[in-house]
């Protein structure tokens, strides 16, 4: 294995979501001589292509190299990863399977270390849903890294951090921050892991600075562990009463299949809540040890603090809108979640463009 000095060139696949934050943090760390963004040449959507162009322009201003690939092929990724030591994948759930040719391209390009897109929950198999988890493709990527890529000299690291409410959007799990109301599926007492996106980014940047210690292992890092009742109390001031609506598990399952069969991405809202209630959103569900102690310089933000921060932001946005000041605020565009599309496709159907948004200001059309 090469020494630390050899790991001076790093690439991130994806410039939106986690990828954007990774790239900014890597540049800010001043640890790498080369920071490269690897992005698809076109998204096939005018709005998304324009947003990608603006992101690339800003990244170039920070000193980030921009390399585009035209198709999902080993050859395309081999070209994109030339002269790179470390690749961090930040693809969404819909692109998880694309990481297999990505890994093969990295091997051919001489990349030394690959970090696949995890940064969430493990793909524990649900006993409630009669289809493979949308996260199941992650296990195929992990197996490929261990069985095929590692013998060829490509190290890897798996990173689990649980759910990031400042990335996912709290409405997806039934928390209406502006209205201070909530919808709960089941009893709400099952623990889940939460880590803010800022702490996930700090963690990954710290990992790639320590190759000899961090390669070929799984890292489990938890910002905090909480159940839905805990979160509902933060949002509504109580975990019962008129601000809380409770949905039975059977009703939630029925609603999930109804939404999924109609290719409505609001199926993801229901799926996420069932996932939490079943216990599949806890990264140490099978008593796997956490690795927080390996990163003493990271004091993660609790999920309660994350929610309070998001609630303050939501209140400020609502106040600005009511005062006619919304035009002066920068509001990030809301896109259909890749996870939502993947869950909708869980019954073997393809998502149609122009369908309903994965996010809504109201939960009334989910249940």
Look at the alpha carbons of 241, 245, 249, 250 in this order and tell me if their dihedral is positive or negative.
positive
Q: Is the pLDDT of residue 353 over 60?
A: no
Instruction: Indicate the average pLDDT of the chain.
Output: 85
176 CB-near residues (< 8 Å, 6+ apart): 170, 182, 183, 235, 361, 362, 363
SS3 assignment, position 128:
coil
pLDDT tens across 126-154, in order? 788 766 666 678 889 999 999 999 999 99
- Residue 78: partners with Cβ closer than 8 Å, 6 or more residues away: 105, 106, 108, 109
> What would the two tokens of residue 184 be?
């709960």
Q: Which of 120-129, 220-229, 240-249, 297-306 has the lowest mean pLDDT?
A: 120-129
What pLDDT score does 319 carry?
A: 72
Per-residue pLDDT, averaged over 65-75, amounts to: 95
Mean pLDDT of 193-206: 97
Tokens 């690795």 belong to 291
Q: Which residues contact 11 (CB under 8 A, 6 or more apart)?
A: 35, 36, 37, 38, 67, 80, 81, 84, 86, 87, 88
pLDDT attached to residue 1: 36
* 149 class by beta-carbon count within 10 Å (0-12 exposed, 13-18 middle, 19+ buried): buried
* CA 186/CA 228 separation, integer angstroms: 10
Round to whole Å and give the CA distance between 13 and 81. Answer: 10
pLDDT at 362: 61
Here the tokens at position 1 are: 């294995």
Return the exposure string of 71-93: e unless at least 16 CB atoms fall within 10 Å of the residue's CB, then b. ebebebbbbbbeebbbbbbbbbb
The enclosing H or E element of 224 equals: strand 224-226
pLDDT at 322 over 90: no
* Mean pLDDT value of segment 70-76: 95
Q: Which residues contact 115 (CB under 8 A, 6 or more apart)?
A: 86, 87, 88, 89, 156, 157, 159, 204, 207, 208
Instruction: Report helix, strand or coil for 163.
Output: strand
Mean pLDDT of 21-47: 91
Measure Cα distances from 362 to 181, 222, 259, 266, 318 in Å. Answer: 10, 30, 16, 11, 15
pTM, 2 dp: 0.85
Q: How far apart are CA 315 and CA 180, in angstroms?
A: 10
H and E: helices and strands count for the chain: 13, 12
Asked if the model's pLDDT at residue 348 lies above 80, the reply is no
**What's the confidence (pLDDT) of residue 32?**
96
DSSP 62: H
Give the per-residue pLDDT at 361.
Answer: 46
Q: What is residue 24's predicted lDDT score, i.e. its pLDDT?
A: 96
- From 68, 147, 156, 63, select the one nearest 106 (Cα to Cα): 156
pLDDT at 136: 74
Q: CA 324: distance to chain centroid?
A: 33
Lookup: tokens for 312: 């303050």
The per-residue pLDDT for range 144-181, each reduced to its tens digit, is 999 999 999 999 999 999 999 999 889 999 999 999 99
Is there a contact between 146 and 189 (Cβ–Cβ < 8 Å)?
A: no
DSSP-assigned letters across all residues of 236-256? HSSSSSTTEEEE-HHHHHHHH
Please give the share of the chain, as a percent, with pLDDT higher than 70: 84
Separation between Cα atoms, residue 97 and residue 203, nearest integer Å: 24
Q: Which residues contact 282 (CB under 8 A, 6 or more apart)?
A: 121, 162, 190, 191, 192, 193, 225
Q: How large a percentage of the chain has pLDDT more than 90?
A: 64
Lowest-pLDDT range of 16-25, 105-114, 230-239, 261-270: 261-270
Contacts with 171 (C-beta within 8 Å, 6 or more apart), sequence order? 177, 269, 359, 360, 361, 363
Per-residue model confidence as pLDDT tens digits over 242-279: 899 999 999 999 999 899 889 888 888 898 899 999 99
43-57: pLDDT as tens digits: 677 888 888 889 999
Residue 365 is predicted with a pLDDT of: 60
């Amino acid at each position: 294995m090469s020494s630390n000095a050899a790991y001076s060139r790093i690439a991130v696949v994806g410039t939106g979501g986690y990828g954007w934050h990774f790239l900014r943090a890597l540049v800010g760390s001043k640890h790498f001589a080369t920071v490269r963004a690897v992005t698809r040449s076109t998204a096939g959507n005018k709005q998304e292509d324009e947003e990608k162009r603006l992101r690339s322009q800003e990244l170039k201003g920070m000193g980030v190299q921009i390399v585009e690939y035209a198709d999902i092929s080993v050859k395309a990724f081999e070209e994109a990863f030339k002269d790179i030591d470390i690749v961090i994948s930040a693809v969404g759930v819909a692109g998880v399977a694309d990481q297999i040719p990505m890994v093969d391209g990295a091997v051919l390009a001489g990349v030394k270390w690959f970090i696949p897109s995890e940064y969430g929950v493990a793909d524990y198999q649900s006993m409630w849903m009669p289809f493979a988890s949308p996260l199941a493709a992650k296990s195929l990527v992990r197996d490929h890294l261990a069985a095929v890529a590692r013998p060829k000299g490509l190290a890897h690291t798996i990173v689990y951090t649980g759910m990031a409410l400042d990335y996912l959007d709290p409405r997806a799990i039934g928390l209406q921050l502006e209205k201070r109301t909530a919808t709960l599926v089941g009893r709400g007492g099952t623990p889940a892991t939460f880590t803010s996106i800022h702490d996930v980014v700090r963690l990954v940047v710290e990992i790639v600075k320590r190759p000899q210690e961090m390669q070929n292992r799984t890292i489990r890092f938890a910002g905090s562990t909480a159940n839905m009742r805990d979160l509902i109390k933060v949002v509504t001031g109580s975990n019962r009463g008129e601000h809380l609506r409770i949905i039975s598990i059977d009703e939630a399952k029925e609603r999930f299949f109804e939404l999924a069969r109609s290719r409505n991405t609001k199926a993801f809202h229901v799926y996420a809540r069932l996932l939490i209630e079943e216990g599949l959103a806890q990264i140490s569900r099978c008593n796997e040890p956490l690795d927080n102690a390996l990163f003493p310089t990271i004091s993660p933000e609790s999920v309660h603090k994350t929610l309070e921060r998001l609630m303050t932001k939501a209140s400020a946005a609502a106040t600005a809108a009511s005062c006619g000041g919304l035009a002066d605020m920068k509001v990030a565009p809301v896109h259909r979640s890749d996870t939502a599309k993947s869950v909708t496709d869980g019954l073997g159907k393809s998502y149609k463009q122009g369908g309903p948004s994965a996010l809504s200001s109201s939960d009334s059309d989910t249940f």
